Amino acid sequence: MKRQLIDIAEKTVRKAEDFGADQAEVYISSSRSFSIDVENNAVKGASDKRDAGCGIRSVIGKSSGFAYVTTVLEADLIEAAEKSVKLARASIEDPDFVSLPSAQSSYPKVKGLLDPVVQELGSEDAANLIVRGVDAAQDALENHETAIEAKFSASTGLTVIVNSLGISSSAESTSTWLYVSPTIKDGEEQTSSYEFQVSRALKEIDPEWVGRSSAENALSNLGAKTVEGGDMPLILSPLAASAIIGGGFAGAINAEEVQYGRSYISDAFGEEVASGELYIVDDALLPGGVGSRPFDAEGFRAQKTEILENGVLKSLLHNSYTANKDGVENTGNASRPSYSGVPSISTSNFVVAPGKGSLEDVISEVGKGVLCRFTGDRPNMATGDLSAMIMEGSYVEKGEIQHPVKNTLVGINMRDLLRRVEMVGADTRVALAIISPSIVISSVKITSG
């Protein structure tokens, strides 16, 4: 399969060159994913998806064109190769474009990207696993009217990247995901919460923990009240840090956004942008990391990049285009959602170094403030202004959680938020966009009503 796809990719690169491309790049991904859904406490359905497709980038001079197809059939690939060349011809040249990445001498060996157990997982095994998660949640919620939604997925993928300059790379990986979300009723009141684990290896998924934690989270959301607003400390749990730091800060150090002056961090580059408490690296080589990989979405070798050290911004996240434009080293952060997207820039594993203490320790240290467990908000990336609803969170007083909050919003500019990090816990976990412990911001504006 791998050899076959590399051959197809190499042929397609030549095809695009025949149509007139100076340089061409072919990105093929082939995946199989199996998933199971639970609705109202019982299995409801399953899906078995096989997807293989191809994205082609053709460069003529300083102009690029892209095309993709949802198959790897020869006729479709030829059509796409031709279209990509046509699009490159029609494009307005980009004076800052230099070249696609050139051949890499070697790729780092990253451990733990592939779990054979995931590759061979049967539908019965998958169903047993999700049922364990649901049962654990139900056991913890036996005194409440409960409706649990859950999803488990296991996927295996192969990515192949070949370009005209000698890049020829392929990598296989697996990933699994378990999500459990109970909705509970308590008299007239209804609330919900969730928990999940994501991993490359099945053995790291603990369905009982996911189920039980989702239930505890839901119970802790009962009895939500508004609070008296004002300026006070904010504790971001790892899931909230994922949205605000993993989304709101990582997005601001995307070199393309900075180069265009679209990022609130643009004017602050090279300066102390954050509190000395905050150490962040982007680490594509983390063994078994969900964002780990030997090469990025352009086939450039992956690496570990220091982002924040002692509050000083050490590097932006680059792909080949932005690195060439700035005349700096490529950090290997080109990314694509699949064969269907063009290379942009994103993090691999965005890791916040732990400080000390559990969440309880952090809460007791803070004394009075608000804990944000989860928000779906993100800052305005141009201004850095963040106005976020606390989707799940609690009011903290006397060093203890008092009650959950509702209709409560946090307001702060990201530049202030980064400088006001006064404490970092040691309760590190893998969230979607970050690997982080809890983070304390010394003062934010809370509005509630």
Per CB under 8 A, contacts with other proteins among 198-237 are 221, 226, 229
Provide the minimum distance between the beta carbon of 354 and other proteins in the complex, in angstroms, as a whole number: 30
Q: Which of residues 268-327 bind other proteins (CB under 8 A)?
A: none
The span of 72-80, 209-217, 272-280, 282-290 binding other proteins (CB under 8 A) equals: 72-80
Given 14, 325, 403, 445, the residue binding other proteins (CB under 8 A): 445
Given 52, 219, 302, 370, the residue binding other proteins (CB under 8 A): 52
Given 2, 4, 117, 190, the residue binding other proteins (CB under 8 A): 190
Amino acid at 286: L
- Closer residue to other proteins in complex, CB, 99/192: 192
- Closer residue to other proteins in complex, CB, 111/185: 185
Q: Which of residues 409-428 bind other proteins (CB under 8 A)?
A: 409-413
Strands 350-352 and 392-397, bridge-based pairing: unpaired
Distance, C-alpha 300 to centroid of its chain:
20
Three-state DSSP class for residue 252: helix
N-term to C-term CA, the chain: 59
- Closer residue to other proteins in complex, CB, 123/310: 123
Provide the minimum distance between the beta carbon of 114 and other proteins in the complex, in angstroms, as a whole number: 24
**Which residues lie below 8 Å from residue 82, measured CB to CB, with a gap of 6+?**
19
Provide the minimum distance between the beta carbon of 162 and other proteins in the complex, in angstroms, as a whole number: 19
d(CA 82, CA 21): 9
Provide the minimum distance between the beta carbon of 363 and other proteins in the complex, in angstroms, as a whole number: 22
Three-state DSSP class for residue 256: helix
The span of 43-51, 270-278, 324-332, 431-439 binding other proteins (CB under 8 A) equals: 43-51
The span of 136-144, 254-262, 310-318, 419-427 binding other proteins (CB under 8 A) equals: 254-262
- Residue among 103, 30, 29, 27 at smallest CA distance from 58: 27
Q: How far is CA 341 from CA 53, 338, 398, in A?
A: 11, 6, 50
d(CA 431, CA 49): 25
Given 51, 186, 206, 397, the residue binding other proteins (CB under 8 A): 51
User: For 45, phi and psi rounded to 5 degrees?
Assistant: -170, 170
Residue written as token pair 């304390």: 440
The span of 13-21, 64-72, 304-312, 345-353 binding other proteins (CB under 8 A) equals: 64-72
User: For 284, phi and psi rounded to 5 degrees?
Assistant: -80, -10
d(CA 332, CA 343): 11
Q: Which of residues 159-188 bind other proteins (CB under 8 A)?
A: 181, 183
- Closer residue to other proteins in complex, CB, 285/317: 317
- Residue among 88, 226, 204, 211 at smallest CA distance from 142: 211
User: For 42, phi and psi rounded to 5 degrees?
Assistant: -135, 155
Distance, C-alpha 347 to centroid of its chain:
7
Total binding residues for other proteins by CB under 8 A? 88
Residues 344-383, one symbol each (x = binds other proteins by CB under 8 A, - = not), give --------------------------------xx--xxxx
Provide the minimum distance between the beta carbon of 399 and other proteins in the complex, in angstroms, as a whole number: 26
Given 40, 102, 310, 358, the residue binding other proteins (CB under 8 A): 40
Given 2, 7, 47, 116, the residue binding other proteins (CB under 8 A): 47
Residue written as token pair 């042929």: 11
d(CA 137, CA 139): 5
Cβ pair 238, 359 in contact under 8 A: no
Distance, C-alpha 394 to centroid of its chain:
25
- Closer residue to other proteins in complex, CB, 90/105: 90
Provide the minimum distance between the beta carbon of 5 and other proteins in the complex, in angstroms, as a whole number: 15
Q: Which of residues 321-340 bind other proteins (CB under 8 A)?
A: 340
Q: Which of residues 80-139 bind other proteins (CB under 8 A)?
A: 80, 83-84, 86-88, 90-96, 123-124, 127, 131
**CB burial of residue 326 (10 Å; 0-12, 13-18, 19+):** middle
61 contributes a contact to other proteins by CB under 8 A = no
